[in-house]
Amino acid sequence: MADITRRFGWRHLRGAPTAHIRHHRAGRLVHDGPGLSFWYRSLTAALSEVPVDDRELAMTFHARTSDFQDVAVQATVTFRVSDPGVAAERMDFSIDPDTGVWRGAPLEQLSTLLTETAQQHALDVLARTPLSAALVDGVSSVRERVAAGLAAEPRLPATGIEVVAVRVVALRPEPEVERALRTPAREQIQQEADRATYERRAVAVERERAIAENELASQIELARREEQLVEQRGTNARREAEEHAAADAVRAQAEAARTVRLAEAEAARAVRLAEAEARSAREVGAARAEAQAAWLRVHAEVDVSTLHALTGTRLAENLPRIDSVTLSPDVLTGLLARLGAPATGEAR
């Protein structure tokens, strides 16, 4: 929309670069071009504004296929006004000189023209196409047919309209038909998913079996190696016991030999000691015998009175150690008689 300002009964219009402005005054074209800016009087000016930028027209319409199934077509047409002068002459692009607002609805007219033309060609191609083919290849065929039909439509160049591009977004059947069509595919997908699940489970079971077999083989190998280890340990233990036994036998033989040697030495020493003790005992006995014999010889030569005196002397020496002395009457009488006899002789 053009920007219009008021100054003292005059109007100033400032257009956009994408809007083609046409200014007529008294039936004459005064200004003509995009992005204009000029002063005018509203009572004598006839203004029109034609957009020259690319515009997108989204359209949705229903069509019927050859097997009598309804489909919804979603398409987008890109167009532009290539000849603003022709478009302004064929359609009402006039604007209010005071507000700059279109007095009519030219863009709606263009949209209706493009939509009906595109719909006509789309209906034509879909009417000869079954639903299954339309859902598979319908987008490209409809796009090509609509683009070709719009390019060959004589009304568009006569109106100054140029179609830039045609895009068909989707072809959709009715919800019930779409669900019915999705069911086999969903069933197939579900079957594929189930098969994939079963295969995955089978692979998992196979892997678990392989793991179990590997574990069992590992356990068997471990048990075999443990058996070998136990056997080797037994062999080592027997060898060690034999070595210990041999060592013990050697030590026992050495100890026995040492014991025998010690016993022999001890026996020899005991024999020597016994012989020495025997010799000493014989010598001591001989000495004692000689001493006793000498003592007896000495006492044999001494008279009886002397012996009695010696006996008394010995008795007196040992008197502190003698607890009691028993003298029989016969001994005492004899002693007294003997002691008295010499005293009488001397008195005489």
Q: Give the closest residue to 69 by CA, choosing from 181, 186, 226.
A: 181
Distance (Å, whole) CA 98 – CA 5: 8
Distance (Å, whole) CA 107 – CA 113: 10
Portion of the chain with pLDDT greater than 70, in percent: 86
Q: Give the closest residue to 170 by CA, choosing from 201, 200, 128, 142.
A: 142
- The pLDDT assigned to 129 comes to 87
Phi-psi category of 194—alpha, beta or left, where left has phi over 0 and alpha has psi -120 to 50? alpha
Whether 337 shows a pLDDT value over 80: the answer reads: no
Residues 30/24, Cβ–Cβ less than 8 Å? yes
Distance (Å, whole) CA 130 – CA 171: 13
Q: What are phi and psi of 300, to 5 degrees?
A: -70, -30
Residues 57/115, Cβ–Cβ less than 8 Å? yes
- The pLDDT assigned to 348 comes to 36
Beta-carbon contacts of 81 under 8 Å, excluding residues fewer than 6 positions away, are 20, 50, 51, 52, 87, 160, 161, 162
Q: How far from 60 is each of 66, 71, 75, 219, CA to CA, in Å?
A: 20, 10, 6, 72
Q: Which helix (H) or strand (E) holds 59?
A: strand 55-64
Distance (Å, whole) CA 210 – CA 214: 6
Secondary structure of residue 128 in the 3-state scheme = coil
Tens-place pLDDT, residues 62-103: 888 888 888 999 999 999 999 999 998 888 899 988 888 988
Phi-psi category of 160—alpha, beta or left, where left has phi over 0 and alpha has psi -120 to 50? left
pLDDT bin (cut points 50, 70, 90) of residue 182 is: confident
Tens-place pLDDT, residues 214-240: 999 989 989 888 888 888 888 888 888
pTM of the model: 0.52
Q: How far from 12 is each of 4, 15, 58, CA to CA, in Å?
A: 5, 10, 35
Distance (Å, whole) CA 164 – CA 78: 5
Whether 300 shows a pLDDT value over 70: the answer reads: no
Portion of the chain with pLDDT greater than 90, in percent: 24
Secondary structure of residue 198 in the 3-state scheme = helix
